[in-house]
């Protein structure tokens, strides 16, 4: 008992001493708090003063200070006034910050009100959406991220809503994205059986993944990276100095591919040339290239005179000659492979090595040919497009979205693997990809961001690796070095000497009068 009594008295003495200390230092606390608030007010006023007026303001303050010092008892009166003002300003401690409002109570009522005109019917006796209704009757299972932005939301709607019509669904998706924020992409999952719409905000895809050697099988091309739930495959990726695994978008080519050719559409500076360089670096590992730069921008100059690159043409005359050679090469390969299968002999190695035709904005050359009264060079792609899969010839075409209608019907019909990059409305994306998207695109997309449709599956998001032009001095040095490390060399320089052209080859068992290989490009 005595020990307990002593402990109780000790606590009482400590509490009393603390109260006395607080009373003793309370004037100093008031003055210190007031001086801090004066200093903060002065700093804020100085920051708010325009730069051209700060000099006169400082001169006026110095003049006032000198005037106070020269007055009789001026410094003493100024200090007393400062202390008194500080004590008056600091008499009340700073009020605790009010807790931030619940984002659901702020944003969901606005979204509910915006959806009401589209989901309400005047003859509904028990409306789910009405002007005086609450969002809790229609919404369920919402969540927000730490920044207060909508992450997931489940929206119920009346059974009579026409959710089978794409136009009606599109209106609802536009309203939801407008209220939730157009800076992000959203996935809309319409459950028509339960009259429920599930909205999910998609996390941003990694940008500026440097070019590198991808772990793939021969004939597989990594177009970029997508969401983790879009594919079960993962490949090693080095990004930001840290190794890891990311889900790729893989395009399978070759004689057994259902999509032997690819068409990529995009807007200006959307990353279509970057996509073409990404494919070129992977194709050079096991094949040969023929590049047609219809835009004439020089974005593919790094491939000139590289081993495995037949030619990089930018002129109409050179492009026509190269495409004529490609058509003859395709016919020669078909004849050689057919003869080898007929005799049961292995096909020649030169006929099995993949040949890639990379076309960057071919409609520019088509317009130039039309102006000069010459045939459209796209007509020379008929043979490689129709028989390329059997002849191991793959055509990759990059074109602007607005010029897609000027592409040849054969190219549009046979190039079933599709990629669309850049900022485009949902209607243009659906037309370019061949089927509607269940993702609402963001208002602005970084370079290389878009959507890909490979095979019969639904389109997926795509971020193309940052395969920059190594000759572009404005590109980051680390990205240029990554591309340079993947380029094939004759020597240690980027501008290597021209590679020796292959000699004329022919298959001896084949009748050369019917199947003679065209002379190599020179």
Q: What is the pLDDT of residues 132-151, one digit of tens each?
A: 888 998 998 899 998 889 99
Q: Is the pLDDT of residue 292 over 60?
A: yes
Q: pLDDT band at residue 252, thresholds of 50, 70 and 90?
A: very high
Q: What is the pLDDT of residues 83-110, one digit of tens each?
A: 777 777 776 666 566 667 788 888 999 9
Q: Is the pLDDT of residue 329 over 80?
A: yes
Helix (H) or strand (E) segment spanning residue 223:
strand 220-225
pTM value is 0.76
Residues above pLDDT 70, as percent of the chain? 87
pLDDT at 14: 44
User: Taking residues 180-196, what's their average pLDDT?
Assistant: 92
What are the structural domains, with CATH classification, of the chain?
103-201 (no CATH), 220-486 (3.40.50.300)
Contact 278, 464 (CB under 8 A): yes
User: Taking residues 357-367, what's their average pLDDT?
Assistant: 95
Q: Cα separations (Å) of 228 from 28, 186, 202, 284, 472? A: 59, 15, 11, 28, 32
Average pLDDT of the chain is 85
Q: What is the pLDDT of residues 14-44, one digit of tens each?
A: 454 444 444 444 677 777 777 787 788 788 8
Helices (H), ranges, 344-381: 349-352, 362-371
Contact 299, 469 (CB under 8 A): yes
Residues above pLDDT 90, as percent of the chain? 56
Other CB atoms closer than 10 Å to residue 427's CB: what's the count?
A: 12
Q: Is the pLDDT of residue 223 over 50?
A: yes
Q: Is the pLDDT of residue 236 over 90?
A: yes
Task: Concatenate the DSSP letters of all residues of 275-332 into one string.
Answer: HHHHHHHHHTTTSEEEEEETT---TTGGGTT-TTEEEEE-SHHHHHHHHHHHHHHHHH
Burial of residue 98 (number of CB atoms within 10 Å: 0-12, 13-18, 19+)? exposed
Q: Is the pLDDT of residue 421 over 50?
A: yes
User: Taking residues 188-208, what's their average pLDDT?
Assistant: 93
């Amino acid at each position: 008992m005595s020990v307990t009594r002593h402990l109780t008295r000790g606590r009482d003495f400590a509490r009393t001493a603390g109260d006395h200390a607080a009373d003793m230092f309370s004037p100093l606390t008031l003055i210190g708090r007031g001086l801090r608030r004066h200093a903060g007010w002065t700093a804020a006023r100085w920051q708010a003063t325009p730069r051209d007026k700060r000099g006169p303001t400082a001169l006026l303050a110095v003049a006032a200070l000198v005037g106070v010092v020269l007055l009789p008892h001026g410094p003493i009166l100024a200090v007393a006034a400062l202390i008194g003002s500080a004590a008056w300003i600091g008499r009340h401690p700073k009020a605790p910050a009010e807790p931030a409002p619940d984002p659901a109570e702020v944003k969901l009522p606005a979204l509910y009100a915006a959806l009401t005109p589209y989901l309400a019917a005047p003859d509904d006796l028990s409306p789910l959406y009405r002007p005086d209704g609450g969002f809790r009757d229609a919404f369920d299972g919402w969540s927000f991220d730490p920044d207060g932005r909508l992450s997931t939301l489940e929206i119920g709607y009346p059974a009579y809503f026409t959710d089978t019509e794409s136009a009606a669904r599109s209106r609802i998706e536009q309203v939801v994205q407008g209220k939730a924020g157009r800076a992000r992409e959203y996935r809309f999952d319409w459950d028509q059986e339960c009259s429920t719409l599930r909205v999910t905000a998609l996390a941003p895809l990694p940008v500026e993944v440097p070019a590198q050697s991808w772990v793939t099988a021969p004939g597989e091309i990594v177009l970029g990276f997508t969401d983790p739930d879009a594919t079960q495959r993962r490949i090693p990726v080095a990004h930001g100095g840290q190794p890891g695994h990311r889900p790729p978008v893989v395009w399978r080519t070759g004689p057994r591919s259902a999509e032997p050719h690819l068409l990529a559409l995009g807007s200006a500076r959307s990353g279509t040339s970057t996509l073409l360089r990404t494919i070129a670096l992977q194709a050079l590992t096991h094949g040969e290239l023929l590049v047609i730069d219809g835009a004439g921008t020089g974005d593919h100059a790094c491939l000139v005179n590289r081993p495995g690159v037949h030619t990089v043409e930018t002129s109409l005359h050179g492009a026509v000659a190269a495409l004529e050679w490609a058509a003859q090469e395709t016919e020669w390969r078909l004849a050689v492979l057919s003869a080898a299968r007929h005799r049961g002999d292995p096909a020649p190695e030169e006929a099995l090595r993949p040949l890639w035709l990379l076309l960057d904005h071919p409609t520019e050359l088509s317009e130039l040919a039309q102006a000069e009264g010459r045939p459209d060079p796209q007509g020379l792609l008929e043979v490689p497009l129709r028989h390329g899969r059997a002849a191991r010839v793959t055509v990759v075409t990059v074109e602007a979205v607005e010029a897609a209608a000027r592409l040849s019907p054969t190219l549009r019909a046979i190039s079933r693997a599709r990629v669309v990059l850049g900022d485009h409305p949902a209607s243009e994306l659906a037309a370019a990809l061949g089927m509607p998207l269940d993702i609402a695109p963001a208002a602005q997309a970084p370079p290389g961001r878009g959507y890909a449709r490979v095979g019969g599956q639904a389109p997926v998001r795509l971020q193309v690796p940052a395969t920059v032009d190594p000759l572009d001095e404005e590109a980051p040095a680390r990205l240029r070095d990554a591309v340079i490390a993947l380029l094939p060399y004759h020597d240690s320089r980027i501008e290597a000497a021209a590679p020796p052209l292959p000699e004329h080859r022919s298959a001896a068992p084949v009748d050369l009068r019917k199947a003679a290989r065209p002379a190599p490009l020179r």
